[in-house]
Amino acid sequence: MKPIQYASESDAGATAEPVRLLPAARSTFNERWLVALGDGSRVECVAYRGDTLCISSQVGCAVACPFCASGSRGYARGLALEELIGQVEAVRACGYALKRVTLSGVGEPLHNHAAALALLDWCRTQRLGLSVTTSGGPLARLAEWLHAPHNGLTISVHAGSEPVRARMVPKGPALEPLFELLEREVRRMTQRRRRKTALAYLMCEGVNDSPAELTQFAQRAAVLDLPVHLYAYNEVPTSQFKPVARADYERAHAQLVAAGLTVRMSSQARIESNGGCGSLVAVARGPRA
């Protein structure tokens, strides 16, 4: 299949080099592409269920989550607005009638704050809902995004205790200041904003799956009254982390629900091998295809 190319105009009027899509994997619900950038770097994007596109915001990631393939080779640079839009337009050129875009691929969107905000404005002109997944830092930027006109904001927590948070999200904010900010800002949010904000907890065997760890998370989350996404983990070759057994995943769901939380389990699209949290890869300045 010939690579799909998309070239956009920069603010200065010069034409950016094309974003090229190289087919990577297709499954029942999802299609994933390598995204070849003009400088030879590569990231990935994935279409979920035909109408939602998960795009990358950076080449690599500085947060260094050990379960995640996206930052396994370190951080290189943020993507320009043209490269963010280019991913959307290239997938549209493949025939996808997109309704939503999510900045949940390679990179930490809040570390590419200006481009992410500009993408939000662009998506609104296109009648595309933009959602964001973030590890929460920098906290000042998280506070701004909590009140922005996004279509959804998910904060990746993945822990109930500080030691486990430091292991799961090494370069993200600690739980104490994170939840202090959330508690303060959630009180100021409209009910509509609250419905579009969620906490994420990715289950990893032997790391954050104990009843005690889940209890601590539930205690922190209960005061916020925000929904929780309880994610099943898809193994990636760059990590030694493992998923929990299905019975343990369902037990964790039952425990959090019993604690009074509204909990959503992974959809079938996210369970597929090319759709899981942390499964997208970045390569800095690799050879062009």
pLDDT of 236 reads: 87
pLDDT of 13 reads: 35
For residue 31, what are the CA distances in angstroms to 51, 52, 100, 142? 11, 11, 15, 30
In Å, the largest CA–CA distance within the chain is 56
Bridging pattern class, strands 100-103 and 129-134: parallel
pLDDT at residue 270 tops 50: yes
Joined tokens for residue 288? 């062009």
pLDDT at residue 8 tops 80: no
pLDDT of 273 reads: 64
pLDDT of 280 reads: 60
Joined tokens for residue 49? 């269920």
pLDDT at residue 21 tops 60: yes
- Percent of the chain at pLDDT above 90? 77
Lowest-confidence region among 3-7, 178-182, 231-235, 276-280? 3-7
φ/ψ (deg, to 5) at 100: -140, 150
Q: What angle do CA 43, 229, 221 make, to 5 degrees?
A: 125
Confidence of residue 278 (pLDDT cuts 50, 70, 90): low
pLDDT in tens, 204-238: 999 999 999 999 999 999 999 999 999 999 888 88
User: For residues 64 and 73, is the Cβ–Cβ distance under 8 A?
Assistant: no
pLDDT of 45 reads: 93
Confidence of residue 26 (pLDDT cuts 50, 70, 90): confident
| Residue carrying structure tokens 């760890």 | 213
Confidence of residue 112 (pLDDT cuts 50, 70, 90): very high
φ/ψ (deg, to 5) at 171: -105, 15
DSSP 118-184: HHHHHHHHTT-EEEEEE---SHHHHHHHHTS--SEEEEE---SSHHHHHHHSTTSPPHHHHHHHHHH
pLDDT of 93 reads: 94
Confidence of residue 272 (pLDDT cuts 50, 70, 90): low
For residue 32, what are the CA distances in angstroms to 54, 168, 220, 272, 275? 9, 25, 35, 11, 8
Confidence of residue 110 (pLDDT cuts 50, 70, 90): very high
pLDDT of 205 reads: 98
3-state secondary structure at position 201: strand
Distance CA 265, CA 101 (A): 20
Handedness of CA 52, 146, 44, 28 (dihedral sign): negative
pLDDT at residue 279 tops 50: yes
Joined tokens for residue 197? 């904000």
Please list the residues that pair with 175 across neighbouring strands: none
pLDDT in tens, 48-69: 988 999 999 999 999 999 999 8
pLDDT of 72 reads: 83
Confidence of residue 40 (pLDDT cuts 50, 70, 90): very high
pLDDT at residue 282 tops 70: no
For the domain 4-271, what is the CATH code? Answer: 3.20.20.70
Confidence of residue 288 (pLDDT cuts 50, 70, 90): very low
Provide the residue type at 101 as one letter: V
